[in-house]
Amino acid sequence: MRRILSAGFAIGVLAAVSACGATDSSSQPDSAGTSGAPTSTTIKALPAKAGSVTVGSAAFPEAELLAHLYAGAMKANGVKADVHANIGERTAYMAALKDGSIGAVPEYSGALLNYLSPGNTARSSEDVYAELQQTARNQNLAVVHYAPAQDADTITVTRKTADKYHLTTIGDLKPVANRLRLGAPAPMRTESYGVPALKKVYGVVFKQFVSLSPSGTVIQTALRNGTVDAANIFSTDPAISRFNLVSLKDPQHIFAAQNIVPVFKQDVLTQPMADACDAVSAKLDTDTLRTLVAEVVDGGDPSTVASNWLKQNDLAKTLN
């Protein structure tokens, strides 16, 4: 998985989602993996100078793409920005961020919050971001606005299955799950954010759990060829668009929000950096990110894919 969750996070999930009861629909994404970004910054009195920053990334294509998107926009806005891609897992690039080897890195809000504050039970985009701002500040870090785009866990089915059983939310599976097989990485069978949460929060009990490798296209292939009927797939997986799959909405937030959010070393962040990153995030939704990831997965250079998108969205120039 791209976002490793700690045991402390898993333990707190059921308590958090059970306490939520009926979630206010205003905080629920319009589609799996999307939610609106905040409307105003809470970062005050940033330096007006452009400054310089090295943007790091984790070691997978989407992370490198995001680093080039944000670095490219900052460079166009007068910042001296470059990219140090493929640093490694979160422990490696967060250590680099804290020691100053890099100055920023695109992150996933829920996973970053859990890394900085293990056991935190915030679930929605808004709640996760509010907690993350304070937590980051206390550790000499700063987060700018998050994007509507999320790379979050989903329960996904084929269009045929969705139409047959009239499925739009995870809860809609309750009366039919005893006929269906769920495919997912092995930890989802026992971790409280997985099968136990499906049962406790939604009353969904699948006929069978099929343990599948999270590597490559194993899970989405099993879904498409009928080995399983529902699958745990990340919301930016290109297969969702390519094969017309349906990610079911999660109104009770058993899966925490994972909005894309740039995190900076506090003393590196300047106003031109924040402005440029905010401009990118404002235009980056889940469908768009999924399309860009598909270009990279299909052989596109992350830097080129990012540059083309910035030009198409008028972000490859100085902001007024």
Tokens for 211, please give them. Answer: 């343990």
Residue finishing a domain among 247, 269, 301: 247
Domain co-membership, 53 together with 200: no
Q: Is residue 6 part of a domain?
A: no
Percent of the chain with pLDDT over 90: 81
Domain assignment of residue 242, given as a range? 153-247
Per-residue pLDDT tens for 125-135? 999 999 999 99
Q: What is the pLDDT of residue 43?
A: 53
CATH number of the domain within which 92 lies = 3.40.190.10
Residue finishing a domain among 221, 247, 273: 247
Which residue's structure tokens are 């490859």? 316
Domain co-membership, 237 together with 294: no
Q: Is residue 78 part of a domain?
A: yes
Q: Are 128 and 256 in contact (CB under 8 A)?
A: yes
Q: Is residue 56 part of a domain?
A: yes
Q: What average pLDDT does the segment 266-271 reach?
A: 97
Q: Where are the alpha helices (DSSP H) in 203-301?
A: 218-224, 239-242, 271-283, 286-297
What is the domain count for the chain? 2
Q: What average pLDDT does the segment 115-136 reach?
A: 96
Q: What is the DSSP letter of 147?
A: P
Domain co-membership, 134 together with 47: yes
Q: Are 227 and 106 in contact (CB under 8 A)?
A: no
Whether the pLDDT of residue 22 is over 50: the answer is no
Per-residue pLDDT tens for 56-114? 999 999 999 999 999 999 999 999 999 999 999 999 999 999 999 999 999 999 999 99
Domain co-membership, 241 together with 279: no
Domain co-membership, 40 together with 143: yes
Domain co-membership, 123 together with 178: no
CATH number of the domain within which 179 lies = 3.40.190.120
Domain co-membership, 138 together with 165: no
Domain co-membership, 183 together with 285: no
Q: Is residue 252 part of a domain?
A: no
Q: Is residue 26 part of a domain?
A: no
Q: How far is the C-alpha of 21 from the C-alpha of 124, rounded, in Å? A: 13
Whether the pLDDT of residue 8 is over 80: the answer is no
